[in-house]
Structure 1
Amino acid sequence: MTTKPYFLLCFVVGLSNPVDAMYYVQPWMLAVIIPLAGIREGQQLLHELYLLKKKSYAHINYHIGMFGSSALLAFALEFSEFLLVSSTSSLTLSVSGIFKEVVMLYLAVEYNNNQLNTLNIVGLVICLTGIIFHCILKFHALQKEKPVNTDLVVTERLLLRRMESADEWSVDGDSNTRRTSLDD
């Protein structure tokens, strides 16, 4: 599902707050990520559980802190993405995504001592070039379109009212008559 229909659906259902929308999206994201995390990090998790049987619990605070800070950062990232897309376009999200990737790579190399080999650098350049090219094309396409000054929430509510009122009309012979509570 692309972002605009998703946000329209959220507004129709009454989820105008990004936290409400995240409340319904997160279980599905968790259902997808748990099997992948189990495959990728299952052995390390079993080793960490074995360490819990030891008498020293000093390492538990470290892991809880790392887990909590990672969860807080993930929540802040998704919350900011919802706010960004709901108030701007997906083009802005793409540009911010490029910035995020560059910052993550810098942090990985600087603080985590990760090494970028030639293949990684070539792949990064190809990926970023494709994203930048897509953003440029999308920007030019948005410039050609004439913006419509309608509020999406108001438009959706008007469409829902029109559909509800259309259900109240019935065809009776050659003329259209409106059903009332007495006709039912």
Structure 2
Amino acid sequence: MSANAKSKFTADIKMRNGHEYSGVEFTTPKSWDKEVAVKINGEKLKIKGDSIDHIVFWPTKYPDNPQIICWHTYGSIDNKTGEYKPNCGHNAKKGEPSKQWFAIHAAGEHVNLWSCFSSIKLTGETVSFTTTLSSPYFFQKHDGLFVHIPFTLFKSGKTREWLSTFFSDGYSQQIDPLWII
């Protein structure tokens, strides 16, 4: 990409402190973890994922194809007790909840479906998210928690049992809402 070339993506970035960056050049790196690189008025800036509420971005040539991503903690629920347990370990400091980049897959009135991803690719006007996980999907209720949807080929009823627990009244968590959609 030459210095005068347009960015493949344009983004609106909403920060947790309420500040917003609108219409910035957004480059998706091949491997990224905890920060995002943007160009604002020609100046390069790296923004820490923890300070970002969410990013709405679109292919610069196709503004009618917006995508929503966020850097968020995640966990799982015990299908017997309904208790939420944050994932502590992957890419986190010892004892802190793990975080991952997520893309909205489907937004609903009561539940959002997110997919974690490791890279973003643009082919024409199509934005593709790739992951290395066999089960990259997470639900988010109004409590703001991202909860992994388990899947295994070896136990066909596991996902059905888990969904029954997740959507029952037994699963609840007292936490400030982080509902962004």
* TM-score tier (shorter): under 0.3
More helix by share: 1
State TM-score, norm by structure 1.
Answer: 0.22
State TM-score, norm by structure 2.
Answer: 0.22
More strand by share: 2
